[in-house]
Structure 1
Amino acid sequence: MATRFVIIDLETTGNGPKKGDRIIQLGMAVVENGLIVERFSSFFNPEQPIPLFVQQLTNINEETVEGAPLFADKAGEIAAMMDDAYFVAHNVDFDLPFLQAELERAGRPPFTGPTIDTVELARIVLPTAESYKLSDLARQLGLRHDRPHQADSDAEVTAKLLLALLERLGRLPLVTLEQLRRLARRLKSDIYLLLDALIAEKQREAPNDQPFVMHGGIALKRPAPARPEKEKGAVAASFAAFSEQEPPLPLPGYKRRPTQWEMMRLVYEALSTSQHAMMEAGTGLGKSLAYLIPAAFFAGERQERVVISTNTIQLQEQLIRRDVPVLREVVPFPLRVAVLKGKQNYLSIEKFASFLAEPSDPYDAVLLKCQLLVWLLETESGDLDELNVPSGARMLLADLAIGEEEEGGRHHFFAAAKRRAEEADLIITNHAFLLHDLTAPRPLFPPFRYLVIDEAHRLEDAAARHFGERVDYVSFRFLTAKLAQTMAKRREEEQRCEARATLARCQRLLEELQFEGDELFRLLRRYALAKQPARAGRCRYRFSPADERGQTWEAAVELCWRLRDAIAALAAAVQPLLATENETMALPVSFSADMAALRRHIAALVRLLTETEEGVVRWMEADEKGAANAVRLYAQPVDLSAFFADRLFMNKRSVILTSATLTVRGQFSYMAARLGLEEFYPLCRSFPAPFRYEEQAALFVPTDLPLVSAVPLERYAEAAAAAIVAIARRLGRRMLVLFPSYELLKLTAEALKAEEGNEPFVLIAQGVQSGSPTKLLRTFLQFDQAVLLGTSSFWEGVDLPGPALAALVIARLPFASPEDPVAAAKSERIRAAGGDPFARLSLPEAVLRFRQGFGRLIRTERDKGAVFVLDRRLLTASYGADFLASLPPLPVHEGPLAALLEAAEDWLA
């Protein structure tokens, strides 16, 4: 492709050229005929201060640019290099406006040529990349990137990235390139010009055998040939022989861990003797391989299928990507491993074909179509979790999943996943799908009798979500708006009078339903806020339909019945349009799924507001400053121990539960009671982490902070903020601060923001800054000095080894709020049975959470870090001993904060 590309990267004083931010460094690389033929790099004096966070990110400070030229001095040379070329950048929307502003300031005409955004191109060509950050893409493609956030290095790497992406684009089949070309005009950059050239080249090529098949006009990866039936018989080597030899595992830098091998032997014993077991495995032990290896040997030796369940789909993927390749190297016989998830995790080819044919798409839909066209040439599973799509496309992607009503077909990805599972020795799934299988009228898994549950401390929460219900205004409004949009669009296209009349009637019924729903959610929000005043801007009101009274409640229930009647009338009215054989009159495939989802939503709403069920807690949540009808309703069972006992442990020969946190004070009794395991007398064993905590971690408890129970929460938050600032200033490293509630986090963040401008660290706060926990972590890791305030998801599942984290602060002991509806309902149940809710629920839950938080700090044998607990009840309250006893042996320091900071600095030095 004989085209000239000029790749540009900038470092700037900020992110707003219209606000006066300036370029401080510019790097350029010119690509012609597949080679980098010219380079340019220069610092520029921005004639303004460089903010501290920019200095940290780029390592460019005031001294660096002091003697540098002004941009205007080099503007002519830069403009000349850009003549007759594509402007290429990794995020054109950032770099081009800055360059245009500087050219204008220098009296030069703006750049008017075509542009290519390598972020956009990478999203299309590499639809499964974990991240589209330049450094992450470089790592994935094996491109050397020595100095991230330096413009010359970034421009060089972006040029190499462009060449790699163009090479992959050129390997796509003609049919896919032509489909991309039809979409490309609506992309942000001028990729259509590249596609024109590639299509012309492909048309000149001689046809050859293609590694794809066509289905519905879409090119799919050719399925692998069917595997021969698995031969039964003795395996090449037994687990006994393997464990006696104890060979090193094929892992880079692997060191033999005695506790890992002990756990392997106990897992194998539990499976072989058909016993249930609970195994606590400390961080860094290598828990995944400690259960996968014996499970694989057992499956091969006994010809028994073993199911492995993890808490989340992300952990499921981690096992497949990281651990299964090692497992295949270790096990001396052919091992078949399958992944099985719910139908909603797999793409429906029929829905995608319909979606692809729809015209006039917004940008997110166009980009998603492009990504899917490329991905279908790569994927064998059709698993939507393989994709990395922008947040704006996630809802669209969910609409393209296989529906519960869809049956298997030739290109039905879920049916293929089930076939692979039937042939497998190990099936890797997640808790949600496992629970779905345990409660489904027909089994979704092939028969199995042996099960390993990883992250077992989250099994009860997963079951509560599975059996619980959630109804919210946002989902209701989204579904009704989608239905209305589809009907309006169909009505515009329809020429037949009969169909137009039917659609008009359906639209009127939907408008009535929307009106009734808006009014119902508005009443419910008003009712909740009247019953339970908001704290930290949020209200949570526990309710029971049998006990609620008053005019507002009665009006809400009346509206609920009317909503039920309205959806029934709409479903009847729309039926002729769903059942018609005339394709020009029918509504799209997604309409049926949306109608079914709305009916389920309203049926759940009716149950929540009108039915009473023993052992179920219901509550409403509303944000004080939210929209007038923004309210969420929930229901959850209070006790699931009987379900686990009857449906899981009674029906399986061996269930092994493992996690890093299963014990309280070294005992498994609390978790065994929650999960209904007490009467099964499981094997119980703790395997400590292979770390030297006495040398790697130290605990610091300031004694001069106010006692949290003795002062208003606002005052405690101010004291916590002052302590966090002092720790961050003194240690000068990355620091994670964990909060048990968003309320305390928000109050502390407000107090910190007043000081932030004068501090050397960057403040990142969950819920205050937008973005997912993953995005916040990425931002956190970009800075050498940063403070991340987190709650909920940050207490577990966050892996920050080595220099990524040197200090951990626990702002308050993680007791559940007394206003938590589920905790309150469980407490009432314990009290009614004559028990002590604090001893049997609140304290064990808090201790487990505390241990999970503590586990964020030391992740490898080389880590060293300091833990500050700002809540001095850890030392003054009688129950503080329970928290301390839950930690491994480590030095504990108490005293005034100033003295502790000196001790911590010495400790970390």
Structure 2
Amino acid sequence: MIDPAALPALHASHGGIWLRDGSSTQAVAKGNAIGRAAETPVLLLNAPLTGQRLGYPDLNGLDLLELWAFVHPARFLVPTAKGLAEALGLERPTAEADIPALLQSATAALLSILEGSDWAEREGGWTSAQSLHRLRWPWSPLVAPRIRRPAEAERWLFTRLPEWDEAPPRPAARSIALQEEAVLSRLSDLTGAQAEARPGQRAYAAAAVEAFLPRAHRDQPNMLLAEAGTGIGKTLGYLAPASLWATQAQGTVWISTYTKALQRQLDRESLRLFPDPATAARRVVVRKGRENYLCLLNLEDALQGGFAGRAAILAQLVARWAAYSKDGDMVGGDLPGWLPTLFRRNGSTALTDRRGECIYAGCPHYRKCFIERSARASAEADIVIANHALVMINAARGRETGQRPQRIVFDEGHHLFDAADATFSVALSGHEAIELRRWIMGPEGSSRGRRRGLAARLSDLASYDEEGGDAIRAAADAARALPADEWLKRIVAGEPFGPVEQLLAAVRGTVYARAADTGEADAGYGLETELAEPDGALVEAAQDAALALDALLRPLARLAKRLEAVVEDAPDWLDGAARARIEGAIASLGWRRDLITAWLALLARIGGPADPDYVDWLTVDRVEGREYDIGVHRHWLDPTRPLAETVLKPAHGVLVTSATLKGGGDWSNAESRSGAAHLARGAQRFEAASPFDYPSRAEVLIVTDIKRGDIAALSGAYARLIEAAGGGTLGLFTAIRRLRAVHARIADRLARGGLPLYAQHVDPMDTGTLIDIFRDDPRASLLGTDALRDGVDVPGQSLRLVVMEGVPWSKPTVLHAARRLAGGGAAYDDRLIRARLAQAFGRLIRRAEDSGSFVILSAAMPSRLLSAFPPGTPIRRVTLDEAIIAVSAHSRAGIGGGAALRHQDDESGTHDLEQR
């Protein structure tokens, strides 16, 4: 067998390139490193990232992350040298030049696990290794010989996964009134006898009882708006009454979040409620949209030849993971976030149900389906951890009416407005229309894959029911009016085909004609214009497209009626599995009919009267000058209106909570953006200020001598501030282009000082992985955009400086202009900006011992917005040089010098891994 020590190992970063061949490590030039990697397989850690550092994105080799995914599927790993060393119990490298030697040692350690008798993930390993060998996986010559062939056939994946069982409908929850004393007693149990007393948390838990009282009137839920500052402990504060109500009422509480990070945190906190993992898995269920879960039928197709090349290798590694996964969640679950990026996301999206083509009980894996198992488990659970989008979509589409959420906790409630805005909006675009065509017609021409049209999915109905078969055929004929493959090329060439493509061509012409007048046409990014005073060509195209869509809607409605009739008639062939499949088809048809109806209402607006409840506009979507979609859009002017009608009013109790619910303003802001303003009874209010000592632990520095638009000065400011803090910096940008420009200018400089820099939209890694790396290394810094402003929880010294490139003004879009006009003009803008500043500042201090600086690189920061920061926080306007001195002093005071930083580096990684 090949000796891992004999394999060359390569490491590349912004600080340099090192190659270890045999027992010696040398710094090498970029060209030599690329040539050596091309000649013979070399050991790498994260090949896409290493290739980017070398300027050779197609770099391949023996990636240790792929080996880890095979040996330890579904196990967490920070994908860095430090993370790998800690996970394997190896000595951490003290310098980057030591990393190639670590790669050799880690390879030997991982391969030795395959030969040991205590390999926990042995089952399925031999079968998977043989499949990967046939696919010429680079690791196969080292892996396959080390796995002994099992004496008996392995139970692997499809035979290993458990089946779910049907259960009778759960009775309605009992009407009970929680006692405050019992809630506080449950809170004490959750926090532990030795926990520090938190008066704010106890007051919060007592106030949350309001959301669990029996409601007095229909369509008038007991609603509580609760702003609880960072450090109050609101998670356990609402879990105490929620879990107690679930037990006493025998009902389910839905806890809805906006970010996947909080979902994972809540899942971990559930072990406080149910210390036994098996009990916790049964009583607490995480729910997400279907597109997040592995589709076993898609995976089977990929394993049987549907994928080729690197995508086929990814499918094998995903199959290894699926056999050990907790719930099959591919996005934010226990599938390593870095795994799909190793394959340039080649094939990963095709393994989920993103096209709505599930055949339900017609699938051979239906009884083992991760999605179905999760949905059924949630019906019996005490706590369902979901997200805002899922809660709203299920309500809007009438899904799961038998278990409609009656008690809902909206954590991260300041995002309710944005989530409702996305859920209840409509877009008639090229991408949306062609997906509808494919859903109806299935594969056309040379299309490959498992995509199946209506006729294939409902073939037994077509053969049984002549009218149903006629409706399927009529729908397929009508769908030919929708855009087909290469629709965008035809439109750009001035040769649109069919009424919907004609409409999109007219939309494109109108956008370019009007956007050119604003000077934006050459910017290279998306263009838009309001839908006002349309010309004759656009009106005529809209009318023709509406006729085509109406002709499609009719057979779909007829088909839905026939399916309902089949279920009622119950023919001989309609067993339980067939009934479930037809009911699933009825649901899918329902929401696509709703989609077409919404499109028709949108098209009726073109040339007709404006509807004051909506904002309509036209777009040409582009990335760096390349067009990728064209569309007509409609959003509610106030999306909390449908939120209140479909989600809030049917509920019995709703708790909306956040550390920044008021957004630095007053309660009217929270009421208008949560939907409470549309309830006859309104909402109760609760407020608890953060217990943290912001005057002594934090400061806000407004730098006044950085000229707006000066990329060189902006880059220099970021570099100097990160150096002053010794890393541990979160840099926030409002434009991806500026983020990339700053990163390109400063990454090498910081690396030479031992300060790694990572960035969204630059490094080939998902956001969750970037945050894991940032959290694990106190000397690392991370640059990002809005997703990091709202979704990062990094306590301790890994985050001690937040830098914003400027005031986060709203983009002057058509939608924003309409809402600004309706919401009070400049006052509306100020409310939004204060909320964003409050969220960004909230990243800095996550626990009592944290400290740090918040820097805004803008002389134009208005004083009226400073109320976004906690009362008493020192706020100063300073020059960059003064800011450097202040950040350096604050960092030294906070971490106690370099020795303390190194100690933190030693301790934090293990702590965080244990927490996860």
- Counterpart check, 1:815 vs 2:809: yes
Structure 2's unaligned 5+ residue stretches are 55-59, 216-221, 450-472, 492-500, 558-572, 574-580, 893-916
* Counterpart residue number, 2:615: 617
Q: 1:265 aligns with which of 192, 195, 206?
A: 206
**Structure 2 CA distance, aligned partners of 1:857 and 1:673?**
28
- Counterpart check, 1:300 vs 2:247: yes
* Counterpart residue number, 1:674: 673
Deviations 1:501-560 (A, max 9, x none): x9xx99x9799833655414565444323312428532442332x631155x36864784
| TM-score w.r.t. length of structure 1 | 0.72
Residues 18 and 100 of structure 2 are in contact (CA less than 8 Å); yes or no, is this contact kept in structure 1?
no
Alignment of 1:48-447 (within 5 A): 90=45, 117-131=63-77, 133=79, 135=81, 138=84, 143-147=89-93, 149=96, 150-164=99-113, 177-178=126-127, 181-182=130-131, 184-191=133-140, 194-195=143-144, 198=147, 201-202=149-150, 204-205=151-152, 218-223=158-163, 240=181, 243=184, 247=188, 249=190, 255-272=196-213, 275-320=222-267, 322-329=268-275, 336-357=283-304, 359=305, 361-379=307-325, 381-385=327-331, 386=333, 387-388=335-336, 389-390=339-340, 391-399=345-353, 403=357, 406-407=360-361, 409-444=366-401, 446-447=403-404
Residues 534 and 623 of structure 1 are in contact (CA less than 8 Å); yes or no, is this contact kept in structure 2?
no
Deviation at 1:471, TM superposition (A): 5.1
**Number of matched pairs:** 788
**Structure 2 CA distance, aligned partners of 1:802 and 1:603?**
51
* Counterpart residue number, 1:105: none
Cα pair distance change 1:476/1:251, threshold 3 Å: farther
| Equivalent residue letter for 2:258 | N
| Equivalent residue letter for 2:709 | E
Q: 2:26 aligns with which of 44, 50, 63?
A: 44
**Structure 1 CA distance, aligned partners of 2:50 and 2:417?**
48
Deviation at 1:246, TM superposition (A): 6.6
Residues 90 and 119 of structure 1 are in contact (CA less than 8 Å); yes or no, is this contact kept in structure 2?
yes
Deviations 1:701-728 (A, max 9, x none): 234456xxxxxx535x666445445534
Deviation at 1:259, TM superposition (A): 2.0
* Counterpart residue number, 1:658: 657
* Counterpart residue number, 2:795: 801
* Counterpart residue number, 2:767: 773
Report the secondary structure of 1:338's partner residue.
Answer: strand
* Counterpart residue number, 2:528: 541
- Counterpart check, 1:837 vs 2:845: no
Alignment of 1:844-863 (within 5 A): 844-863=831-850
**Structure 1 CA distance, aligned partners of 2:67 and 2:208?**
47
Cα pair distance change 1:382/1:724, threshold 3 Å: closer
**Structure 2 CA distance, aligned partners of 1:770 and 1:458?**
27
| Equivalent residue letter for 2:18 | I
Deviation at 1:257, TM superposition (A): 3.0
Residues 513 and 567 of structure 1 are in contact (CA less than 8 Å); yes or no, is this contact kept in structure 2?
no
**Structure 2 CA distance, aligned partners of 1:870 and 1:479?**
46
Cα pair distance change 1:181/1:850, threshold 3 Å: same
Deviations 1:204-262 (A, max 9, x none): 45x7xx877x9xxx323234899999999999x98725735974756899544332232
Deviation at 1:616, TM superposition (A): 2.1
Report the secondary structure of 2:446's partner residue.
Answer: helix
Deviation at 1:295, TM superposition (A): 0.9
Deviation at 1:694, TM superposition (A): 1.4
**Structure 2 CA distance, aligned partners of 1:47 and 1:827?**
55
Cα pair distance change 1:767/1:445, threshold 3 Å: farther
Deviation at 1:117, TM superposition (A): 4.6
Q: 1:899 aligns with which of 852, 875, 882?
A: 882
Cα pair distance change 1:474/1:693, threshold 3 Å: same
Larger Rg: 1
- Counterpart check, 1:488 vs 2:446: yes
Deviation at 1:636, TM superposition (A): 1.7
Deviation at 1:118, TM superposition (A): 3.6
When structure 1 is superposed on structure 2, of 678-687 and 516-525 the one drifting more is: 516-525
* Counterpart residue number, 2:423: 466
Residues 616 and 635 of structure 1 are in contact (CA less than 8 Å); yes or no, is this contact kept in structure 2?
yes
Cα pair distance change 1:645/1:562, threshold 3 Å: closer
Report the secondary structure of 1:809's partner residue.
Answer: strand
Deviation at 1:697, TM superposition (A): 0.4
| Equivalent residue letter for 2:135 | R
Alignment of 1:506-905 (within 5 A): 513-514=484-485, 518-519=490-491, 520=501, 521=504, 524-532=507-515, 533-534=519-520, 536-544=523-531, 547-549=533-535, 551=537, 553=538, 557=542, 560=545, 608-611=602-605, 613-619=611-617, 620-623=619-622, 625-628=624-627, 630-631=629-630, 633-665=632-664, 667-678=666-677, 679-705=680-706, 714=709, 720-721=714-715, 723-728=717-722, 730-739=724-733, 741-742=734-735, 746-747=737-738, 750=741, 766-767=760-761, 771-777=765-771, 788-817=782-811, 819-830=812-823, 836-839=824-827, 841-874=828-861, 877=862, 880-884=863-867, 886-905=869-888
**Structure 2 CA distance, aligned partners of 1:753 and 1:172?**
41
Report the secondary structure of 1:804's partner residue.
Answer: coil
Deviation at 1:425, TM superposition (A): 1.9
Q: Percent identity?
A: 22
Deviation at 1:323, TM superposition (A): 0.7
Residues 177 and 195 of structure 1 are in contact (CA less than 8 Å); yes or no, is this contact kept in structure 2?
yes
Residues 343 and 401 of structure 1 are in contact (CA less than 8 Å); yes or no, is this contact kept in structure 2?
no
**Structure 2 CA distance, aligned partners of 1:821 and 1:604?**
20
| Equivalent residue letter for 1:807 | L
Deviation at 1:755, TM superposition (A): 7.1
Structure 1's unaligned 5+ residue stretches are 27-39, 52-71, 73-78, 100-113, 492-501, 573-580, 582-588, 707-712, 831-835
Give the root-mean-square deviation of aligned CA atoms. 5.4
* Counterpart residue number, 1:496: none
| TM-score w.r.t. length of structure 2 | 0.72
Deviation at 1:855, TM superposition (A): 0.9
| Equivalent residue letter for 2:737 | K
